[in-house]
């Protein structure tokens, strides 16, 4: 990115912040006096108010036991709950991506089977995944297993579809060249076709990781005791718009950072394809 592009990006970000503050001033407040559109100050106050979610320790007393709301408490509560969400995301992503990649590779071994499952696989992507959260709650209750399984299912749906599509798009002459040099069908598939699909599959892995944050947050609405989603649920219940905005900004930032990190790792792993 050139210096000019960076300046344009910063200017657009500044414009968005100004527009946000203008919307805050124009929207007014609700009947309780809470801002309809929280401003920057409201978001900062919400971060400090996160100290109410801290269970005590590290020199910061719980607010329900007489402790005051502090920036240190807000930071500790944020780190603790973000860590809980991140662990659920990591477990669900590894499970969903692993099963999705493995199943896509097995199905794509047979061109006929790949054509059979192609349409159903992409049709599953159209499912309203967030509408399935109550079903996972019915199956697993408010356990961590339910949250992890929902993230895994969400990631699996996308990785499986992307995997089938990436393998199908590998040029046929790759296989023909390997077979003409004496490689067997299994060796050609494992050492030529699957590696050749990785660069395209990387986009699906990166996008599904970013999407996993939304899935993890949504899954925590099922009654988790910790996590960013649990904080968002409480904020929604009590119409704490500043806290809701803070959670939204957090998810956007984490998803963007995860996407860029995954893209970097995949680009390094497939540098041979450049």
Tokens of 198: 């990785």
Contact (Cβ atoms closer than 8 angstroms) between residue 20 and residue 44: no
> In this structure, are residues 272 and 69 in contact, taking their beta carbons and an 8 Å threshold?
no
* Rounded Cα gap, residues 111 and 225, in angstroms: 46
Tokens of 200: 């395209």
* CA 18, 19, 25, 30 torsion-angle sign: negative
Strand, helix or coil for residue 29: strand
Does residue 34 have a pLDDT over 80?
no
Q: 106-121: b or e for each residue (b if 16 or more CB lie within 10 Å)?
A: ebbbeeeebeebbeeb
pLDDT at 44 over 90: no
Q: Which two tokens stand for residue 175?
A: 């296989």
Per-residue model confidence (pLDDT) at position 267: 84
Mean pLDDT within 12-23: 87
Integer Cα distance of 157 and 96 in angstroms: 8
From 99-103, 110-114, 196-200, the region with the lowest mean pLDDT: 110-114
Q: How far apart are the first and last CA of the chain?
A: 19
Nearest to 70 by CA among 59, 81, 80: 59
Picking from 31-45, 51-65, 111-125, 134-148, which range would have the lowest pLDDT averaged per residue? 111-125
**pLDDT of 85 higher than 80:** yes
DSSP secondary structure letter of residue 63: G
Q: What is the mean pLDDT of residues 263-269?
A: 84
Q: Tell me what pLDDT residue 273 has.
A: 64
Sign (positive/negative) of CA torsion 140, 143, 147, 153?
negative
Q: Which of 75, 77, 76, 51 is nearest to 65 (CA)?
A: 51
Q: Which residue has the higher pLDDT, 231 or 35?
A: 231
Average pLDDT, the chain: 85
pLDDT for residue 30 is more than 80: no
59-68, 91-100, 101-110, 239-248, range with the lowest pLDDT: 59-68
In angstroms, rounded to a whole number, what is the distance separating the alpha carbons of residues 247 and 216? 13
Q: Taking the model in full, what pTM does it have?
A: 0.85
d(CA 147, CA 226): 12
Residue predicted with more confidence, 55 or 83: 83
Distances (CA, A) of 74 to 60, 164, 221: 10, 44, 21
User: Facing residues of 99 across strands?
Assistant: none
């Amino acid at each position: 990115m050139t210096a000019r592009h960076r300046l344009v990006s910063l200017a657009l970000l500044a414009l968005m912040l100004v527009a946000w503050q203008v919307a805050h001033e124009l929207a007014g407040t609700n009947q309780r006096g809470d801002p309809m559109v929280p401003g920057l100050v409201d978001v900062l106050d919400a971060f400090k108010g996160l100290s109410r979610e801290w269970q005590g320790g590290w020199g910061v007393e719980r607010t329900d036991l007489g402790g005051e709301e502090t920036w240190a408490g807000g930071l500790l509560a944020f780190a603790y709950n973000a860590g809980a969400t991140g662990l659920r995301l990591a477990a669900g992503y590894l499970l969903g991506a692993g099963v999705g990649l493995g199943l896509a590779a097995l199905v794509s071994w047979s061109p006929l089977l790949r054509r059979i499952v192609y349409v159903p696989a992409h049709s599953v992507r159209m499912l309203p995944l967030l509408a399935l959260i109550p079903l996972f709650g019915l199956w697993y209750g408010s356990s961590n297993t339910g949250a992890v399984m929902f993230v895994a299912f969400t990631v699996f749906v996308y990785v499986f579809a992307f995997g089938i599509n990436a393998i199908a798009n590998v040029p046929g002459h790759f296989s023909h060249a390997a077979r003409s040099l004496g490689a067997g069908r299994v060796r050609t598939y494992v050492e030529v076709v699957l590696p050749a699909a990785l660069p395209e599959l990387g986009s699906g892995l990166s996008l599904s990781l970013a999407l996993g944050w939304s899935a993890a947050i949504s899954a925590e609405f099922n009654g988790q005791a910790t996590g960013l989603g649990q904080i968002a649920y409480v904020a929604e219940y009590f119409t704490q718009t500043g806290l809701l905005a803070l959670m939204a900004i957090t998810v956007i930032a984490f998803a963007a950072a995860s996407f860029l990190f995954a893209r970097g790792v995949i680009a390094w792993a497939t540098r041979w394809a450049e």
